[in-house]
Amino acid sequence: MIRDKIAKPAKGRYFPIAYPRLRELADAQGFSSHSYHDHIPLHIENCEVECEAGYQLCSFIRMGYLAAFSLPENVPAKLAAMATERAIEEFAAIDATPHLAVNEQQFVIYRAYLGMPGTLTVTQHIVKAVSRKYLAYDQASQLSKANRNPGDERVLKRVELV
Protein backbone atom coordinates (compact mmCIF):
# COMPACT_ATOMS: atom_id res chain seq x y z
CA MET A 1 0.00 0.00 0.00
CA ILE A 2 1.37 3.44 -0.95
CA ARG A 3 1.90 5.80 1.92
CA ASP A 4 2.63 9.14 0.32
CA LYS A 5 2.68 11.98 2.85
CA ILE A 6 1.81 15.45 1.67
CA ALA A 7 2.04 18.35 4.12
CA LYS A 8 1.17 22.00 3.69
CA PRO A 9 4.09 24.43 3.95
CA ALA A 10 4.63 25.97 7.38
CA LYS A 11 4.26 29.72 7.78
CA GLY A 12 7.07 31.57 6.00
CA ARG A 13 8.11 28.48 4.02
CA TYR A 14 7.36 26.96 0.60
CA PHE A 15 7.96 23.71 -1.26
CA PRO A 16 10.39 24.06 -4.19
CA ILE A 17 8.43 21.50 -6.21
CA ALA A 18 4.81 20.44 -5.90
CA TYR A 19 3.70 16.85 -5.34
CA PRO A 20 2.69 16.22 -9.00
CA ARG A 21 6.15 17.33 -10.18
CA LEU A 22 7.85 15.18 -7.53
CA ARG A 23 5.77 12.17 -8.67
CA GLU A 24 6.68 12.89 -12.31
CA LEU A 25 10.41 13.11 -11.51
CA ALA A 26 10.40 9.97 -9.37
CA ASP A 27 8.54 8.00 -12.03
CA ALA A 28 10.87 9.23 -14.78
CA GLN A 29 13.93 8.16 -12.78
CA GLY A 30 12.50 4.70 -12.12
CA PHE A 31 13.36 4.36 -8.42
CA SER A 32 13.29 0.82 -7.05
CA SER A 33 10.34 -0.03 -4.83
CA HIS A 34 9.03 -3.06 -2.97
CA SER A 35 6.70 -5.39 -4.85
CA TYR A 36 3.73 -4.26 -2.75
CA HIS A 37 4.19 -0.64 -3.97
CA ASP A 38 3.56 0.55 -7.50
CA HIS A 39 6.05 3.40 -6.92
CA ILE A 40 8.44 4.61 -4.25
CA PRO A 41 6.51 6.35 -1.44
CA LEU A 42 6.86 10.14 -1.54
CA HIS A 43 6.92 12.55 1.39
CA ILE A 44 6.49 16.30 1.18
CA GLU A 45 7.31 17.59 4.63
CA ASN A 46 8.33 20.61 6.66
CA CYS A 47 11.80 20.46 8.17
CA GLU A 48 13.12 23.62 9.74
CA VAL A 49 16.55 22.36 10.77
CA GLU A 50 19.49 24.12 9.10
CA CYS A 51 22.86 22.35 9.06
CA GLU A 52 26.43 23.28 8.24
CA ALA A 53 25.81 22.06 4.68
CA GLY A 54 22.71 24.28 4.36
CA TYR A 55 19.00 23.60 4.28
CA GLN A 56 17.90 19.98 4.04
CA LEU A 57 16.35 19.78 0.59
CA CYS A 58 15.59 16.07 0.13
CA SER A 59 16.24 12.69 1.69
CA PHE A 60 16.06 9.18 0.33
CA ILE A 61 16.11 5.61 1.62
CA ARG A 62 16.38 2.96 -1.06
CA MET A 63 13.02 1.25 -1.55
CA GLY A 64 11.80 3.19 1.51
CA TYR A 65 10.83 6.73 0.48
CA LEU A 66 11.85 9.90 -1.33
CA ALA A 67 11.21 13.09 0.65
CA ALA A 68 11.26 16.76 -0.34
CA PHE A 69 11.28 19.49 2.31
CA SER A 70 10.04 23.05 2.63
CA LEU A 71 12.46 25.96 2.53
CA PRO A 72 12.35 29.48 3.96
CA GLU A 73 10.85 32.09 1.64
CA ASN A 74 14.21 33.90 1.41
CA VAL A 75 15.70 31.01 -0.63
CA PRO A 76 15.31 31.73 -4.38
CA ALA A 77 12.52 29.51 -5.74
CA LYS A 78 14.13 28.89 -9.14
CA LEU A 79 17.43 27.81 -7.54
CA ALA A 80 15.62 25.57 -5.05
CA ALA A 81 13.58 23.85 -7.79
CA MET A 82 16.71 23.30 -9.89
CA ALA A 83 18.58 21.92 -6.85
CA THR A 84 15.71 19.58 -5.96
CA GLU A 85 15.56 18.17 -9.48
CA ARG A 86 19.34 17.67 -9.51
CA ALA A 87 19.21 15.98 -6.09
CA ILE A 88 16.59 13.53 -7.36
CA GLU A 89 18.86 12.72 -10.32
CA GLU A 90 21.75 12.09 -7.90
CA PHE A 91 19.55 9.83 -5.75
CA ALA A 92 18.49 7.88 -8.86
CA ALA A 93 22.16 7.35 -9.74
CA ILE A 94 22.75 6.02 -6.20
CA ASP A 95 19.68 3.78 -6.53
CA ALA A 96 21.20 2.20 -9.65
CA THR A 97 24.39 1.14 -7.82
CA PRO A 98 24.81 -1.89 -5.52
CA HIS A 99 23.43 -1.49 -2.02
CA LEU A 100 25.81 -0.58 0.77
CA ALA A 101 26.33 -3.51 3.16
CA VAL A 102 25.25 -2.55 6.68
CA ASN A 103 24.38 -4.45 9.85
CA GLU A 104 20.86 -5.68 10.50
CA GLN A 105 20.17 -2.82 12.94
CA GLN A 106 21.32 -0.11 10.51
CA PHE A 107 20.01 1.62 7.44
CA VAL A 108 21.39 4.23 5.06
CA ILE A 109 19.83 7.63 4.48
CA TYR A 110 20.97 9.79 1.60
CA ARG A 111 20.37 13.52 2.00
CA ALA A 112 20.70 16.57 -0.21
CA TYR A 113 21.34 20.04 1.19
CA LEU A 114 21.15 23.42 -0.48
CA GLY A 115 23.84 25.76 0.73
CA MET A 116 24.20 29.35 -0.27
CA PRO A 117 25.22 30.51 -2.80
CA GLY A 118 23.85 27.61 -4.84
CA THR A 119 25.81 24.57 -3.64
CA LEU A 120 24.12 21.17 -3.65
CA THR A 121 25.67 18.68 -1.22
CA VAL A 122 24.68 15.00 -1.31
CA THR A 123 25.53 12.92 1.76
CA GLN A 124 25.31 9.37 3.04
CA HIS A 125 24.38 8.72 6.67
CA ILE A 126 24.46 5.25 8.21
CA VAL A 127 21.91 5.28 11.03
CA LYS A 128 22.26 2.89 13.92
CA ALA A 129 18.73 2.11 14.97
CA VAL A 130 18.15 1.53 18.65
CA SER A 131 14.59 0.34 18.32
CA ARG A 132 12.37 -1.28 15.72
CA LYS A 133 10.09 1.77 15.80
CA TYR A 134 12.86 3.90 14.33
CA LEU A 135 13.49 1.25 11.67
CA ALA A 136 9.93 1.84 10.46
CA TYR A 137 11.23 5.10 8.90
CA ASP A 138 8.44 7.15 10.49
CA GLN A 139 10.83 9.83 11.64
CA ALA A 140 13.91 8.92 9.62
CA SER A 141 13.42 11.41 6.81
CA GLN A 142 13.97 14.55 8.87
CA LEU A 143 16.97 15.65 10.82
CA SER A 144 16.12 16.56 14.38
CA LYS A 145 17.36 19.73 16.02
CA ALA A 146 19.41 17.55 18.35
CA ASN A 147 21.05 15.79 15.40
CA ARG A 148 21.42 18.68 12.93
CA ASN A 149 25.01 17.75 12.02
CA PRO A 150 25.39 13.97 12.21
CA GLY A 151 29.04 13.16 12.85
CA ASP A 152 29.01 10.03 10.73
CA GLU A 153 27.42 11.67 7.69
CA ARG A 154 29.76 11.39 4.69
CA VAL A 155 29.76 13.85 1.77
CA LEU A 156 29.38 11.97 -1.51
CA LYS A 157 29.19 14.91 -3.91
CA ARG A 158 29.19 18.70 -4.06
CA VAL A 159 27.80 20.49 -7.10
CA GLU A 160 27.90 24.24 -7.80
CA LEU A 161 24.55 25.07 -9.38
CA VAL A 162 25.19 28.73 -10.21
pLDDT tens digits, residue range 7-49? Answer: 899 999 999 999 999 999 998 988 877 666 677 888 899 887 7
Q: CA-CA distance, 73 to 136, in Å (whole number)?
A: 32
User: What global pTM score does this model have?
Assistant: 0.84
Identify which has the larger pLDDT, 147 or 113: 113
Average pLDDT over residues 139-156: 65
Q: Is the peptide bond before 20 cis (omega within 30 degrees of 0)?
A: no
DSSP 16: S
Mean pLDDT, the chain, as a whole number? 82
Stretch (H or E) spanning 133 = helix 132-135
Residue 55 bridge partners (DSSP): 50, 114
- What is the C-alpha separation between 20 and 10, in angstroms, rounded? 19
Round to whole Å and give the CA distance between 79 and 152: 28
- State the distance between the two ends of the chain, measured CA to CA, in whole angstroms: 40
Domain extent, residue 20, equals 5-160
Cβ atoms of 54 and 143 within 8 Å: the answer is no
Q: Count the neighbouring beta carbons within 10 Å of the beta carbon of residue 104.
A: 7
Residue 1's pLDDT is: 46
Report pLDDT for 44: 92
Give CA–CA dist 87/95, Å, rounded: 12
CA distance 116 to 94: 24
Number of domains in the chain: 1
